[in-house]
Amino acid sequence: MRFPKLPNLGLGDRIPSHQELERMEKEEAGDRPKWDNKTQYMLTCVGFCVGLGNVWRFPYLCQSHGGGAFMIPFLILLVLEGIPLLHLEFAIGQRLRSGSVGVWTAINPYLTGVGIASLLVSFLVGMYYNTIIAWVMWYFFNSFQNPLPWSQCPVNANLTDLVSECTRSSPVDYFWYRDTLNTSTSIGDSGGLQWWMVLCLLCAWLLLYVCCLRGIATTGKAVYVTSTLPYVVLTIFLIRGLTLKGSLDGIKFLFTPDLNELMNPSTWLDAGAQVFYSFSLAFGGLISFSSYNSVHNNCEQDAVIISIINGFTSVYSATVIYSIIGFRATERFDDCLEGNILALLNAFNLAEGSIKEGNYAESLQNLNGTFPETIQSLDLKTCDLQTFLSQGVEGTGLAFIVFTEAITKMPVSPLWSILFFIMLFCLGLSTMFGSIEGTVVPLQDLNIFPKRWPKEAITGIVCLVSFVIALIFAQSSGNYWLALFDSFAGSIPLLVIAFCEMIAVVYIYGIDRFNKDIEFMIGHKPNLFWQVTWRFVSPLIVLVIFVFYFVTKVSSNVTYIAWNPSSEDFPTLEVLEYPAWIYVIIFILAGVPSLVVPGTAIFKLIRRCCSNKNVYGAEVDTVSAKVQMFTTKMS
């Protein structure tokens, strides 16, 4: 029984047949780029998948959704959602030997919109992702001094006291919000360009350009460093972290399972979303990368291996991050306790060493019994290690505030700072390679630029345009713009694209044809697991996540958090509502890529009806040349 599929005319004429693929393979014809070796391909894919999210999103999710128990939904969804989608993208790219626009146009010309949506998403995400790399570079440049600039508050202008904004919050907060971002109080207040940020942004884009100049010829060399260095640094940090006091508390806190969290649906949804975004699916980059492989490359094995590496990296980096967070929490706890003990000693003129950590509780009780008013007036802080550990921070807060603070407490801080930011830089850069690939190759496929323009020029133009638009993020309000882009450009459109990809392959291309293709490429038909997941399970999971996200975003009041030194709860971030004109921007970010998918189909339909010409062109090989034939319908 053949699996139902939608009618799709002329498919065989648009894609190379198996015999043609064999011929192309033997003759090594065509000017399509190729990988130098399998290692380059694997490292590029691993680099694209493993990114900043593995380091600063997964540990937070793990800790906030029941620690070790979070592994269960994460691993289940990795297997049911991540691996099938990855295999699908690898296989379709390898079979149809084209970037995202080329692949979907070949399957059906009305599906070009999916490729264009991938292009737009890659472009938008690449813009703000590289800004994060610019921030990482800024911290990297500032790590070459001792003491680190974020370890102490600066003195104010007339040298009488430390800057008040810093004393009220903390040196790391101050360095991040004031010295780095110089953040304004709301997204509407643009505050002008910050020259140091513009320089760092320029550096980031130039560095990206030099690595992507010739496509995979240059990125293939760069990934030897950018994909492997993070693991080296993570291992160094693990060894260093385990020798610090309190690190094991952190790891225990991370992995202590709370099985009740499994009953909470948001745990499963967060796990699903994390798996999806972590694999960098629907960007078009993976399709492109696998199209440079030889036809008989075992894409099934690649998909499984890369998924395992991605999952392992998430867990490994979570362990490292939380060992350092455990150390920081213990330091904070010790400082807090010491402060309290000192206050008690000073107030009651007791000898030093008479109150220690061990007898603090009972001493406090005794003193409270005899002198309650004095104890009240001292205003002692409550020191609880669990509170410090659960100051769960994710995203930029983790890297630029929590972790940098932990580094200042370690001996030889500049060294650890340099290593940490090199690691973040490599993680981000290798993901950017995939983004650029997902932007440049569709542009070439769509013939936006003349064919004779070299790849260097097209990459240069893409980098230049992205840099100019990314100057938004170098303003005072840049941080808020970035959070906006992150929430909307990088979330909903990707889910839409992934869903359309699966429908396209299973129902429009035809799962039976796809199975035969895979049998031709790797030698055996995909087994029952792949059949079930491709046809039902993975599309369903993606649909559920999309509906949930959409409903949450639409129904809730869209707010953002701002740094405002004059707010009442300072240093807690202020919750503000977006102004009305932001909704236009949100529509452009989330709506336009999603609507391009049906929009292009409708556009092509209208064009076909208006010009009376059938879009299903065919190419016929004659003795002298390829002749384009169009069947014209008389209507």
Partner 1 sequence: MLVWILFLLCQVGAPALAQDLCQRDAPNGYKVRISLKTALGEDAYEWNQSEMFFFQATMAFAMRRHFQMETYNVDNIILCVQTSRVSFWFVVTSPDNTTMLIPKADVEKAVRMSRHRINNAFLLSDRTLEFLGIYPTLAAPVNPDTPPWLIVFGVVIGAVCVGIIALLISSLLQKRRKEKGMTEDGQDEEDMQVKGVENGINLDGTYNRGFTDDDRFTKL
- For 296, counting Cβ atoms within 10 Å of its Cβ (0-12 exposed, 13-18 middle, 19+ buried), the class is middle
Rg (CA), the chain: 28
Cβ neighbours for 132, distance < 8 A, ≥ 6 positions apart: 52, 396, 428, 482
Which is nearest to 469 in space by CA: 497, 439, 495, 493?
A: 439
Q: Among 202-210, 290-298, 441-449, 535-543, which window interacts with partner 1 (CB under 8 A)?
A: 202-210
CB contact set of 177 (below 8 Å; sequence gap of 6+) = 169, 183, 563
Q: How many CA atoms lie within 13 A of 517 on its CB side?
A: 27
Beta-bridged to residue 619, according to DSSP, are 628
Burial of 541 from C-beta contacts in 10 A (0-12 / 13-18 / 19+): buried
Judged by CB under 8 A, which of 24, 76, 79, 162 binds partner 1?
A: 162
- Annotated ligand binding at 100? The verdict is no
Does 58 help bind partner 1 (rule: CB under 8 A)?
no
> Binding to partner 1 by residue 19, rule CB under 8 A?
no
What does the alpha-carbon distance between residue 607 and residue 600 come to, in Å, rounded to a whole number?
10
Tell the smallest beta-carbon distance from residue 222 to partner 1 (Å). Answer: 11
| Per-residue DSSP letter, 15 | S
Among 207, 287, 375, 462, binds partner 1 (CB under 8 A): 207
Binding mask 216-235 for partner 1 (x = CB under 8 A): --x-----------------
The reply to whether 209 sits near partner 1 by the rule CB under 8 A is yes
Query: Is the CB of 218 or the CB of 444 nearer to partner 1?
Result: 218
What is the CB neighbour count within 10 angstroms for residue 196?
A: 15
Q: Does the footprint of partner 1 cover residue 339 (CB under 8 A)?
A: no
Element spanning 628, H or E: strand 626-629
Q: How far is the CB of 408 from partner 1 (least distance, A)?
A: 17
Q: How far is CA 371 from CA 229, 344, 348, 350, 404, in A?
A: 58, 11, 10, 14, 40
Of these, 243, 349, 377, 632, which contacts partner 1 (CB under 8 A)?
349
* 193 contributes a contact to partner 1 by CB under 8 A: no
Q: What is the DSSP letter of 620?
A: E
By the rule CB under 8 A, 160 interacts with partner 1? yes
Q: Is 214 in the site for partner 1 (CB under 8 A)?
A: yes
Please identify which residue in 42, 225, 305, 345 interacts with partner 1, judged by CB under 8 A: 345
47 marked among binding-site residues: yes
395 is in an annotated binding site: no
Q: Which of 361, 610, 625, 634 binds partner 1 (CB under 8 A)?
A: 625
Task: Report which DSSP code applies to 216.
Answer: H
Report phi then psi at 475, rounded to 5. -80, 180
Amino acid (1-letter code) at residue 12: G
User: Binding to partner 1 by residue 161, rule CB under 8 A?
Assistant: yes
Residue with Cβ nearer partner 1 (350 or 588): 350
CB of 552 to partner 1, least distance (A): 40
- Report the Cα–Cα distance between both ends of the chain, in Å, rounded: 37
Check the CA dihedral 184-159-168-419 and report its sign: positive
Shortest distance in whole angstroms from residue 152 CB to partner 1: 10
Binding part of the chain for partner 1, among 265-273, 345-353, 403-411, 591-599 by CB under 8 A, reads: 345-353
**142 vs 585: CA distance, rounded Å:** 34
Q: Is 54 annotated as a binding-site member? A: yes
Is there binding between residue 198 and partner 1 (CB under 8 A)? no
DSSP string of 456-473?
HHHHHHHHHHHHHHHGGG
Q: Which position among 145, 164, 391, 572 is part of the footprint of partner 1 (CB under 8 A)?
A: 145
Quick one: 160 or 527, whose CB is closer to partner 1?
160
632 binds partner 1 (CB under 8 A): no
Name which of residues 372 to 401 contact partner 1 (CB under 8 A). Answer: none
Measured from the CB of residue 488, what is the shortest distance to partner 1 in angstroms?
Answer: 32
Near partner 1 by CB under 8 A: residue from 22, 456, 486, 574:
456
Residue 454 in contact with partner 1, rule: CB under 8 A: yes
Q: How far apart are CA 70 and CA 58, in angstroms?
A: 10
Write down the least CB distance from residue 124 to partner 1, Å.
24
- Which residues are CB-contacts of 9 (< 8 A; sequence separation ≥ 6)? 616
For the annotated binding site, the residues are 47, 50, 54, 278, 310, 427
- Interacting residues toward partner 1 by CB under 8 A: 137-138, 140-142, 144-145, 154-155, 159-162, 196, 199-200, 202-203, 206-207, 209-210, 213-214, 218, 345-346, 349-353, 454, 456, 624-625
